Amino acid sequence: MHAVDWAIIAVYLTWMVWDGLRLTKRSQELEGFFLGGRSLPWWAVGLSVMATQLSAITMIGTTGQGYIDGMRFLQFYYALPLAMIILCVTLVPFFHNARVYTAYEYLERRFDAKTRAFTSFLFLVSRSMSLGVVISAPAVVLSVVLGISVTNTVLLTAIPTMIYTMFGGVQAVAWTDVKQMVLIVAGLIAAVVVLIVGLPGDVSIPEALRLAGSTGRLRTFDFTFDLTNQYTFWSGTIAALFLFCSYFGTDQSQVQRYLSTASVDEARGSLLMSAYWKIPLQALVLLVGVLMFVFYVFTPGPMLFDGRHDREVREGPRAAEYQTLEQRYEAAADARREAGLAVAHADAAGDSTRLAAAGQEFKTREAEVRAVRGEALTLVREATGDLTYNDVNYVFPTFITTRMPIGMVGLLIAAIFAAAMSTIAGELSALSTASVIDFYRRFVRAEADDRHFVRVSRIATAFWGLFASVIAVWAAELGSLIEVVNRFGSFFYGSILGVFILAIAFPRATANGAFIGLLAGMGSVAWAATFTNVAFLWHNVIGAVAVVIVGLAVSAIAPKRRT
């Protein structure tokens, strides 16, 4: 990487950290440290919420998802606007008017301490695991750029962020998010421009998109009702609705953001920003992945984008087999390129008969390329013993470092770093808040001054940062990072949402009903994940429904605990 790119990265990250600390106010007061004095403007909080979503995991995991699978993943977000409207009417005013620090404080007021503690504990487990995936995303980039292990790059990313978060506060996190949001969008637009410019001169943008469409990569609606299919219109509008209501309505990393606004209306405005802009921004991210696919149709690319085991395989006992696969891949890629050009030329000529034949030929050649890549992935797994080996998260980093011009490389990597550090900081702050407010202050030491609790929160920040780093090393090898983080969340979110549904929608629900219902919800999701092929998005529905049904049944049997 050129010195200019390193300079861009160094200058931006230094400025981000310095400016974040400079903007920190009242960081020695509990409300100032955790909630920014409840004085942040709605638009800054809204951008902060969106920036958390458009994090490094989105730039790496979702672009890789777009390259492999196209726009189909966009269906995952169709329920988001409805979820935001529901939350604006229900949970947002509840939490804001209650003047709580965490969402789980409300559960003790409505039920009891054990329900609050167990729900907060589930948040800590799910969010810390998801944070590990967030840390993995920039670690993947650094491992490619610097040629060092993912473990070292995890520590390189997490430790400075952990230190920054310990001495900053929510106010610093939010304003840093605003800046990194601008940089992320600028970086994505720059990538789109480079990808379009990189197309052959005789291939127009519409022709390139038609080529991607011939492989199904532009498909954004799938009305097949199949509980085992991860991304369909139904999973994106029903199952994902439960996920979004839980994530944005009961996850402390999000609740803490809108609790930092001055009023209920401002909190609602911050959430509605995501309702309007999240789907278009997610479409932009996926489009980068689709355009990378088209780019590599016409420009020679590697057989595998993750070269960590390349030397080991080439010098091992299966070297000849690997070389044969490379020769097959080059031949298949060349044939695919010629078929792609035939599609573009037939499209430009308006010859529908020729276009149909060329399109079918291209799909055949694309299937051959995918088959060879699949064989190569299997060979590497068998030859190295790395059974989780997958290169989907390395597609975009490889494109950045090998195809982007000087300066643009630094811009995009700076965007990934900025997104990662800001997201990590926000989630560490939420983990620290829940640890201190829901456990330490509730069960260990109820009376102390603000400075004491702020000191304890900094210790909690360090603990969760190190814990998430351990998860990050493992998560980097699990496949598409954007799927991994939602898989983690879906195991917990439905059950947590179910408890809040009982608390708000069913006045007759009792404390024991809520607690036993929560146990039943988690057990139901564990059973579904272990013994069925139901797609993970539906785990949110299973958990929430189980909590409500069991909770109401127990409450009816033992109504004396009613609140």
Q: What does the pLDDT look like over 299-329, one tens digit per residue?
A: 888 898 877 778 888 888 999 999 999 999 9
**Does 40 lie in the same domain as 122?**
yes
Write the single-letter amino acid at 531. Answer: F
Residues 384 and 520 in one domain: no
- The dihedrals phi and psi of 509, each to the nearest 5 degrees, come to -65, 140
Q: Locate 265 and state its tokens.
A: 């209306």
Gyration radius of the chain's alpha carbons: 24
Q: Is residue 318 within 8 Å of residue 113, measured between CB atoms? A: no
* Mean pLDDT of all residues in 336-341: 92
**What pLDDT, on the 0 to 100 scale, is given for residue 561?**
46
* Cα–Cα distance for residue pair 378/387, rounded to 1 Å: 8
Residues 64/392, Cβ–Cβ less than 8 Å: yes
Domain ranges, residue 380:
307-389
Residue 444 lies in a domain: no
Number of domains present in the structure of the chain:
2
From 299, 290, 295, 294, select the one nearest 217 (Cα to Cα). 290
Sorting pLDDT into bands at 50, 70 and 90, what band is 549?
Answer: very high
**How far is the C-alpha of 289 from the C-alpha of 66, rounded, in Å?**
4
b/e map 124-133, b = 16+ CB within 10 Å: bebbbbbbbb
pLDDT, tens only, 380-424: 988 888 777 778 878 888 898 888 888 888 888 888 777 777 778
| CATH, residue 181 | 1.20.1730.10
The domain boundary residue, chosen from 389, 406, 428: 389
CA 141 – CA 125 distance, rounded (Å): 26
- For range 197-209, the mean pLDDT: 87
Domain boundary among 389, 411, 428: 389
Claim to verify: residue 155 and residue 267 sit in the same structural domain: yes
CA-to-CA distance for 495 and 499, rounded, in angstroms?
A: 7
CB neighbours of residue 508 within 10 Å: 12
For the stretch 76-102, pLDDT in tens is 888 889 999 999 988 888 888 888 888
Judge if 76 and 140 occupy the same domain. yes
Q: Which amino acid is at 255?
A: V
536 within some domain: yes
* Judgement on whether residues 49 and 125 belong to the same structural domain of the protein: yes
